[in-house]
Amino acid sequence: MELPADFDARHFWSDEEYAARYYTEPWPSDELVARVEADLGYRLPAFYVALMRTRNGGVPVNTCFPTTEATGWADDHIAISGIAGIGYHKSYSLCGGLGSASMLDTWGYPAIGVVVADCPSAGHDLVMLDYRACGPQGEPAVAHIDQENGYHTTVLAPTFEAFVRGLRPESAFKEPYA
C-alpha cells in the first residue's frame, strides 16, 4: 500500500535529533516487516507500514489527539512523544528495548495489541494498536492506556490512519496538562 494522495508525509515528521537517536530505524523491507509481525504476533496496519516507509519512526509535528474524556494528561486530549518504528535497534522501535514487549512485560500493560506510541509521562500511559475487536490479523483500533488510572483504556480512533490524521498541535488545546 502507498499512502493516500491526500496525505502529506513530507510535513508529518518533525526533524529532531532526539527522534533520530531513539525512534528512527532504517527503511523497513518486506522481510523485516514480516519478521517483526511474527515476533509481535500481529499484522501491522497497511497505513502504518506505508507511513514507516516515509520515515521509520520518529516524532510527528503534531503530537496531541483530542479525547471526549479526561485523561491523566489533560481534560480534552492525550499527547504522544513519538511513534515507534519497525525494527529492533532503536530504544522505542516496536521490538526495541523500550518497545511493545517491554511495556507489556515490565509495566503490566494489557495484552490487547502492539504499543505504537509512547507518551510524555515516561511509561505511565501509552498508545496501542488495539486488536480486541478484530483479532491479530485484522485492522486494529487505536487506544490510549492510562496506567495511573488502573490501565483505563480509551479508544481514540477506529484505525491507525484515523489516529494519524487526527493528531493536532499542542496549541490547539486550552490546557496542555491536567
Domain containing residue 47: CATH number? 3.40.1580.10
Domain assignment present for 54: yes
- The count of structural domains within the chain is 1
CB 78 within 8 A of CB 95: no
Domain assignment present for 38: yes
pLDDT per residue, tens digit, the chain (178 aa), is 899 999 999 999 999 899 999 999 999 999 999 999 999 999 999 999 999 999 999 999 999 999 998 888 889 999 999 999 999 999 999 999 999 999 999 989 999 999 999 999 887 899 999 999 999 999 999 999 999 899 999 999 999 999 999 999 999 987 655 4
At residue 121, the pLDDT reads 87
Give the angle 159-39-16 at the CA atoms, nearest 5°.
Answer: 60
| Cell numbers given for 157 | 480512533
| Cell numbers given for 106 | 515490565
Cβ-Cβ contacts under 8 Å for 35 (sequence gap 6 or more): none
At residue 175, the pLDDT reads 60
Q: What percent helix, strand, coil does the chain show, rounded to 5?
A: 25, 20, 50
Domain span at 151: 12-169
The model's pTM is 0.94
Domain assignment present for 88: yes
